[in-house]
Amino acid sequence: MNLVKRIMSKADVVIENFRPGTMAKLGISTEVLVKENPRLIVCSISGFGQTGPMSQEPAYDSVIQALSGLMSVTGFPDGIPTRVGTSIGDLSAGLFAYAAITTALYAREKTGKGTTIDISMLDGLFSLMEHGLMDSLALKINPERIGNRHPSITPFDAFTCKDRLIVICCGNDVLFSHLCDNLGLKDLPKDERFVTNAFRNENQQALKDLLEVPLKTDTAASWREKLEKAGIPVGLVLSVEEAENLEQIRFRNMVEHSGDKEVPGNPIKFGAYSSEISPLVPPKLDAEGPGIRKEFSE
């Protein structure tokens, strides 16, 4: 533990994700660390945060998705609440930690002071509930599952084509009119059920059924090309394998090589710094340990 303390005394940032209280039991509580090293930034990431009645409960991503309300609004109305297809509770906590740490580092440049940071997976995912959360808080309306469509904009959904699904997003009347023109439904914007977004939202299923009639006569790729030329936001529903081979993904170096493996690239592109990841094979567990221990034992 003395070695750990020596390492921390020379560090800029310490990140830990033990259950709250574990660091104190180890004799290195976050508050004491910052007190002993005033410039140190200590970021604690946990399921429920360092305080509150649930702080000691164990947490996994699926538990957090369930408790945040996210699962309740994911899926279709006639289906069960559904987990998002990635560990978004874990990932969002990491992103909030990154934002907090960079903010704290900037503040330290101004004040010379470090700080503790308390990141909760539940806090993070709850805050990302966006319009559903605002409906619940401000309007006291409990959001429900609505599938792939947007809660307040129509048409804004995944539609069935001849071979696969395509996502079409018309955020205003002009785009809706262009969509109808390209689908051979020129009179549809004049239909009293669809003349405004509010009416389209009220009659979204009827509108979807009408739009899918021409869409089902051709492939999704063909419709994508036509609608994209018309300036309509559109995209195929790709598999992960298809997405990783998308020309835009490859052009942006979002698939890179590390050692002998393909790995995800860096989504943050700096103008003045390289965003490329290291091409070296990552070291095995404790491969660098002896050198690090020697460095801080002297």
- Residues designated catalytic: 150
CB of 69 within 8 A of CB of 59? no
Q: How many CA atoms lie within 13 Å of 187's alpha carbon, on the beta-carbon side? A: 0
Other CB atoms within 10 A of residue 99 CB: 12
DSSP H helices in 112-251: 121-127, 130-134, 173-182, 197-202, 204-215, 220-229, 240-244, 247-251
Three-state SS at 133: helix
Q: Which residues contact 255 (CB under 8 A, 6 or more apart)?
A: 244, 249, 262, 263, 264, 265
What letters, b where the CB count within 10 A reaches 16 and e where it falls short, cover 47-78?
bbbbeeeebeeebebebbbebbbbbbbbbeee
